Each structure stands twice: as C-alpha cells, then as structure tokens.
Amino acid sequence: MSIVKSFSVGDGDMFYILHNSSNFTIIDCFIDETNQERIVDEIIDKRKNKDITRFISTHPDKDHIGGLEYLDSRLGLLNFYCVENSATKPGESSDFKYYCNLRDECKRKWMNDNDKNDGKNYGSSGINFYWPVIDNEDYIEALQNVANGKGYNNISPIFTYSIQNNVEIMWMGDMEKDFLEKIKDQVNWPKIDILFAPHHGRDSGKVSSDVLQKLNPHIIIIGEAPSKYLNYYSNYNTITQNSAGDIVFDCEGGLVNVYVENDSYAYDTGFLEDKSKKNVSLGYYLGSFTPKAAKVK
C-alpha cells in the first residue's frame, strides 16, 4: 500500500508520499503557527517506520517553502532535492535563507538507487523527473532569471510518482503556461492517472490541450488559488481542493481509493466507483478507480 496526501494549506502547496518501500517523501511546504504542529506531527507518525525521508522543493517561493525551518527542526532533512540554482531574492525571508542553506549543503541520495555503502535495500522511490533538460536554452534563461531575483515559478521540475501496476501521478510545481508552451516539445510526456494542476490550478498555469491529450489524466486536482483565478479544466474529471480540503489517494492492489477532508464535498464524482473502502482515518470516502497500469496488467 502507498498513500499520497495533498494538504489543504491555503494558497500554497504541501504533499507527502508514504511509499510502499522504505521511503517517505515530502513535496514543498506551506505551514505556519496555525497548522505546523498538527501537520508535522502527522508526518512524523507516518514516516516512523521508514529509513529514508526526502524533501523535494519545486521552487523557492514563500507558498512552497513557508515553515521550512520549522519542518527541518522537527525532522532533520538530510535528503533535500531541488534543481541546481543560484536564486536570490531582494529582502530575503528567513525561510528563503534556510532554503539556500539546504540547497547548498544537503546530501542528495537514495532517489531510485540503493546506497552502495551500507548494504541495505531501500527499494525504489518510484519518482522520475521529465524536466528540466539542463542544456535547454529556455531553462538556462529561467535559471538566469532566478539568479537575478525574478521568475522563480519556471524553474519548477516536472516529475511523477509511479507504482508498478498502479498509479502514476504528476507534479509541475508552479510552472507557468507560457513557459510550458515553450518547452513542451522537449518533454517525453507519459500517460498518467492524476495531475496536480500547476500554479495551484490558476489559469496562468493552464496545461495546454495537446499536452493534456498526451498525459490523458483520469483526474486533475485543482489547487487553492482564489476561485476567480482558477481554470476548471472543462471536459476533465476534477477535484477542487478549495472545497475538498485535504485529499488522500490510497493506492492498494489495482485500485486507487480517494478520500477528502470535507464530508459535504458535493461535486460530480461519477468518474469514481463505490468499492466500499470507507476509512475514517483517511477522510471521507469519495470512491475508487482503476489506474491505467492496472488495466493493462
């Protein structure tokens, strides 16, 4: 069993992956005094039997690194991943300074290969990166922009988490649609089951129809940007985090079971089947679906 959770943290992003191996992954953070103890307590509990904890930072904006120092103080983030960059910011916040320290000092081990020195078998993380292509001219320009203190969204990587014979989930951070249009032909787009819409579901991060046709997601998760800025991806199955609250994907066998925090979530869920997978510890059960890999099996 593997669990992927998207926290409802307002206009920001925070996820964790409880892998079906000895791995635990956190993607971005946006916590403060109102929620940090609750969220980090949960993470500590969920990762207690895992050997490897990693943090993936998509880019160093406040709504993706808020509370990073607190998170590290509780967890000790020995494995910190971000694209190699020299980002600067005018009036640097304490979290940005902390990001830079982790960026420049942390080890980066155990993504999909076992450590060669300790003899343990940690298993694959199932995380694979499709972007950046580091010698791409547009990407090099994006790196120069962040070094000059601007344009942080467009150094976001594109990556997936996949489980053999089960789900494939994609993240794009806050990549903006104009940049995505420039580089889309440089990406080998896989078929996926779930897409976390970039830039919190904003229209400014809209994924173009030709890319969506290649990805063919079963569900698109629309984030918590103010509703007036959202693109609702008509003609696709969606869950909107503004209304759903926390979202949990429980991946077991050939099914993905979907749970949300809000038990009055009332949007169309006809794309899910009732497989009687109620589990109050995970949230309100919306339904289940069979991911593409399980269908092919």
Q: What is the CA angle 124-126-291, rounded to 5?
A: 135
Nearest to 19 by CA among 110, 100, 98: 110
Confidence of residue 116 (pLDDT cuts 50, 70, 90): very low
Please check whether residue 209 lies inside any domain of the structure: yes
Q: Residue 85 contacts by C-beta under 8 Å, 6 or more apart in sequence?
A: 103, 143, 146, 147, 155
Which one, of 26, 231, 222, 59, lies nearest residue 139 by Cα? 59
Does some domain include residue 115?
no
The domain that contains 145 carries what CATH number? 3.60.15
- Asked if residue 85 is part of any domain, the answer here is yes
Average pLDDT of the chain, as a whole number: 92
Q: What is the pLDDT of residue 124?
A: 66
Give the pLDDT confidence of 9-23 residue by residue, as tens digits. Answer: 999 999 999 999 989
Total domains in the chain come to: 1
Per-residue model confidence as pLDDT tens digits over 58-109: 999 999 999 999 999 999 988 999 999 999 999 889 999 999 999 988 655 4
Cα-Cα-Cα-Cα dihedral sign, residues 227, 230, 231, 236: negative
Task: Decide if 140 is inside a domain.
Answer: yes
Amino acid at site 162: S
Domain span holding position 225: 2-110+120-296
